[in-house]
Amino acid sequence: MAVRHDFDDAADQLAVLENIKNVLRADDAGKAPPIAKVKPNPVPTTDVNQWTIDGIAGQTRVSTSFGDVPSELLRKNDMVRSISGDFKRIVWIDRIRLDEGFMSRHPEAYPIHIRANAFGKGIPARDIEVSPCHRLRVDRFTNGSVVAESLLHRPGVTRAPHPHVTYTQFHCDGDTMVKVENLWAESRKR
């Protein structure tokens, strides 16, 4: 199977699961998957294969109460640094693993790679990878966030064509931004 989930609370994940089922059904039938309805993607596109599942990839580190931790090691109840400066408890977490067969048929799922210092000294502190539709706040002086894929025109931002990828999704008790290598990444309640 192309996708594997580690569920903590299946009821919160119905939209994500429905999207994955649609992609897999279309993939098995040899057709382009329908545009998913997990959340609206504000980036204009003509690509019918627009990737709509957010997440932080692999070794990208998230600031927690016990230091910076690779996203793949985060667990439910870990405390992560929020944009307000306090720590928020992770109440839901999921990992979506996409294998080589799936990735070869769905390059739109390739993560966005952002090199260290791409947006200024220490921003981000290290190279990071996120889902193309993950929302980031790259400028600490504004309130807005942008979809990672919309940053592809910037120096130091590229697609990372990995043969497989694991996206970690999590949310705290409510929507917030969490610290990821000196950037702020969205953590939305599903």
Q: Rounded to an integer, what distance in angstroms lies between the CA atom of residue 57 and that of residue 112?
A: 9
Give pLDDT, residue 46: 40
Q: What is the token pair recorded at 20?
A: 């994955």
Grouping H, G, I as helix, E, B as strand and the rest as coil, residue 105 is helix
1-26, pLDDT tens digit by residue? 344 444 444 444 455 556 566 555 65
| E strands, the chain, in order | 3-5, 56-57, 61-64, 67-70, 79-81, 87-98, 112-114, 128-130, 135-137, 146-147, 157-159, 165-172, 176-180, 183-187
Q: What is the token pair recorded at 9?
A: 């609370």
CA-based Rg of the chain, rounded to a whole angstrom? 16
Of how many residues is the chain composed? 190
Which whole-number Å values give the CA distances from 130 to 11, 27, 54, 61, 145, in the listed order? Answer: 24, 23, 8, 11, 14
142-157, pLDDT tens digit by residue? 567 888 999 999 999 9
Grouping H, G, I as helix, E, B as strand and the rest as coil, residue 78 is coil
Calculate mean pLDDT across residues 128-146. Answer: 82
Q: Model pTM?
A: 0.73
